[in-house]
Chain A
Amino acid sequence: MAGKRRTSWVVWLRRAVQTAFLLLFFYLFLRTAYYPINRIGGPVTLFFQLDPLAMLTTWLASHAVAAGMLLSLVTLGVTVLGGRWFCGWICPFGALHNLFTSLRGGRLKARLEAGGYGRWQKAKYYVLAVFLTGALLGVNAVGWLDPFSFLFRSMSTAVYPALNNAVVSLFSWIYDANPGVGPVRVTVVSEPVYEFLRRHFLAVQQPHYFGNVLIGFLFGLVIAVNFYRPRFWCRYICPLGALLGVAGKNPLVRLNKDEEACNNCRLCLADCQGGGNPNTEQWKPAECFYCFNCKSDCPSQAISFGLGKRADPAAIRPVPAASFSGKGVVVK
């Protein structure tokens, strides 16, 4: 966080909610297994049922939709009314990108430059357009880039098998070496830990999947590019984010900037996740994840979110040309 201000409680609440949904995702992932009868251990497809993109392309391509996927209409409705909260608060892939984005270091100036809106953020809408028109002719390839498909597929075929292998190898190595002093051996501690992991987290048998290297590489890539731009996947690629951006482009919950209080320091960009330009009068609801970092970072308390003040074509004042440039923000 930039500045000396204490992090706002809304940001802590958002982090708690994100953590909860990320853990729920991992929990449901682990429950997607034989448990121990021929019945799945819970609503393991919950996140796919909340996914309006998968619902829409499946409907366009096959003219039918699984009943459970109608739950995604709730996501769509909430977004139309309130904005892209889903990306900032619910999406587990978003939470993961958020986590890695927060590991970014760098000088404040570089962070301010990376935080602003860039025109390449439109790329995701074009990605969405390609998948939707393809779906019209029955080609439903959206799963390549649908965030939940991407995350779950990467987890199941690459990340989880590799982690399982790493943990089993580590504990086997400890067991074989068994260092210690006299009768006090490491296995006294490591074996109960291993037993706990084996019971609750590890696979019954080491999984092996064809294609795991390519899928794992792509997963590593989209995680790594968070160090190039904050939440790179969410800003530039995610077709679900694009769909929610289209749906939530003029929401009821809006960012209000107190022009009198704002001193144009642009610290609101330091931790901006979506690149929604909280610093200018051209706040972009379609890009905003409602992460509230801008509100939290603002030293003059000029930013607030609230109902109303919804966009009325006539009420928008002309934007000063100097405050916004296409390539990001000029820091003085």
Chain B
Amino acid sequence: MIGATIGWIKGFVKPPKEARLDLRRRQLLACGATGLGAAFLFHTHPLGRKRSYNPDLVRPPGSLGEQEFLSKCIRCGECMKVCPTNGIHPTALEAGLEGMWSPVMRMTIGYCEYECTLCTQACPTGAIRALTVPEKQKIKIGLAYFDKNRCLPYAYARTCIVCEEHCPTPKKAIWFEDVQVANLAGEKVMVKQPRVDPDLCIGCGICVNKCVIKGQPAILVSSVGETRNPDNGVLLQSTNPYGG
């Protein structure tokens, strides 16, 4: 029995002809060079620079810092399937070729539902770490900003409060400034101009999703200020009462 085991181990370490894979050393070295070369090449993509982030690359909540995220994500699509709002999509080249088919939030299709942590439960490798709902609600995945050339109160002197109404944070991250502006007839009218509070906004994107301007909404979310990459910051010091 012991002899047979030793014989088998020997056969495994130095296999007989039939069990050999017949791989050529030169080809294997070429493959190794390809893998290493590709890695060095990927790392010299502009996104590989320090403090270089793609504003369109808003990852699901609980995603690790970008470099660690890419080392763990296996692009399986579990998070994309499980997202109840259809908000998580495979990237094309937003994260570089290296990150192709990793998850990215597309707020015009879906958004990050405030009470949901399904993607954090579904990730098999921990690239998106498991979160409780209260933990998730404190994590910023990005920050909303207005396109004043498209937003009704700014561009057309018309009142619209849709984004503020949908904002899910306990204290709304969108607030209004009452401003007196002139309309087409030259009359002075009061409009509520919406603003984003960078401390309160978690970047969930429901404002983008519900904005009455479709296609290219008047409010957008970029990755700046995301919790997972601390040096992708917008504020030197956060005063968010809910953490993050």
Contacts and interface: CB of A to CB of B under 8 A. Distances in A.
B35 interface: yes
Given A149-B75, A211-B89, A45 B124 contact: yes
B15 A311 contact: yes
Given A144-B100, A153-B77, A210-B90, A139 B124 contact: no
A182 B146 CA distance: 59
Contacts of B72: 58, 61-62, 64, 140
A126 B42 CA distance: 20
A66 B35 contact: no
A155 B76 CA distance: 10
A250 B8 contact: yes
Nearest to B89: A210
A83 B71 CA distance: 29
A136 B121 contact: no
Q: Which of B4, B77, B84, B118 has the most CB of A within 10 A?
A: B77
B124 A54 contact: yes
B38 A312 contact: no
B34 interface: yes
B82 interface: yes
A210 B106 contact: yes
B23 interface: yes
Interface residues of B, number: 65
A89 interface: no
Interface stretch (B109-117, B194-202, B204-212, B218-226): B109-117
Contacts, number: 225
Given A133-B36, A312-B11, A29 B81 contact: yes
Interface of B: 4, 7-8, 10-12, 14-23, 27-28, 31-32, 34-36, 38-40, 42-43, 67-68, 70-78, 80-82, 84, 86, 89-92, 98, 100-102, 106, 109, 115-118, 121-126, 133
A-B pairs, 7 with minimum CB distance: A133-B35, A143-B75, A137-B39, A153-B77, A156-B81, A143-B74, A48-B124
Interface of A: 29, 32-34, 38-40, 44-45, 48-49, 54, 57-58, 61-62, 64, 66, 68-69, 80, 119, 122, 125-126, 129-144, 146, 148-149, 152-157, 160, 204-205, 207-211, 215, 245-246, 249-250, 252, 281-286, 310-313, 315-316, 319
22 contacts: A29-B81, A32-B82, A33-B84, A38-B115, A40-B121, A48-B78, A54-B74, A54-B124, A64-B72, A119-B22, A122-B27, A126-B27, A134-B35, A136-B39, A137-B35, A144-B75, A152-B78, A157-B77, A210-B90, A210-B92, A285-B19, A316-B18
